Amino acid sequence: MSENEERVLGWDDEISNDDQSGFEVVPPGTYSFEIVNLRRGQHQPTSTGKLPACPKAELTVRLYSQNGDYVDVRHNLFLHSRCEGMLCAFFLAISHRRHGEPLRPNWQRVIGSRGWCKVAIRDWVGQDGEKRQSNDIKAFLDPAKAPKSQPPTPPVNNPVPFDVPREDGF
C-alpha cells in the first residue's frame, strides 16, 4: 500500500505524517476525473436541509490536471427524486447511460469509471469560526460536450499534488 493512500489506523499503529491540511483546493475549471471509491451511506437531514433522509453514494473523485497530477475530492450523490438530474448527468458523464434512456444504475461498475466535470471553489466557515475553502463538483459533463483532448494518463501509485498555493492548515 502506498503511504499516500487513506486508511483506517489501529490504536497501536505508528504515525508520522505531520501534514495537517488533509486536502488541497484546486483552481476552478474543467477536469478529467476517475471514481476511486464509492461508499453507500445515508443522508441525515439538518433542520435547514432541503432533502429528507435518503440513501447517498459517497464518492471519492480523483481530479487530474493536464500533466497527470491529481487530488481527491469527495462528492455525494443523493438518491432522491430532487437529485435525479444530477444522477443522470453523472451516469451519462461516465458513459453508463445514453440521453433519454432510463437506467437502473450498476453501482458495482462505478469505481474506475472516468469522465469530465466542472469544479468550483466553495467558501465556508468551520465550527471554530475559521474561513475555509473546498472544491465542489458543479456539473458532470456529457462526453459529447467534454473537452476533446484525452484525459491524462494517471500516475501509478505516485501522487504529486497540484502546484497551487494553499493557506496554512487548509
CATH number, domain of 68, equals 2.40.50
Answer whether residue 129 is part of any domain. Answer: yes
- Cβ atoms of 92 and 99 within 8 Å: the answer is yes
Residue 38, strand partner residues: 59
pLDDT in tens, 30-72: 999 999 999 999 999 888 888 999 999 999 999 998 877 899 9
Q: Looking at the domain assignment, is residue 128 inside a domain?
A: yes
What is the domain range of residue 55? Answer: 29-145
Residue 134 included in any domain: yes
At position 28, the amino acid (one-letter code) is P
> Distance between alpha carbon 134 and the CA centroid of its chain, in Å?
11
Per the structure, the count of domains in the chain is 1
Decide if 71 is inside a domain. Answer: yes
Q: How confident is the model at residue 165 (pLDDT cuts 50, 70, 90)?
A: very low
The pLDDT assigned to 2 comes to 46
17 band by pLDDT with thresholds 50, 70 and 90: low
Is the residue at 60 inside a domain? yes
The region that residue 169 occupies, defined by phi over 0 for left and psi between -120 and 50 for alpha, beta otherwise, is left
Q: Which residue has the higher pLDDT, 136 or 170?
A: 136
- Bridge partners for 119 per DSSP: 29, 137
**Cα gap 162→45, rounded to integer Å:** 34
Q: Is residue 68 part of a domain?
A: yes
A 10 A CB-CB count for 119 gives 22
The answer to whether residue 167 is domain-embedded is no
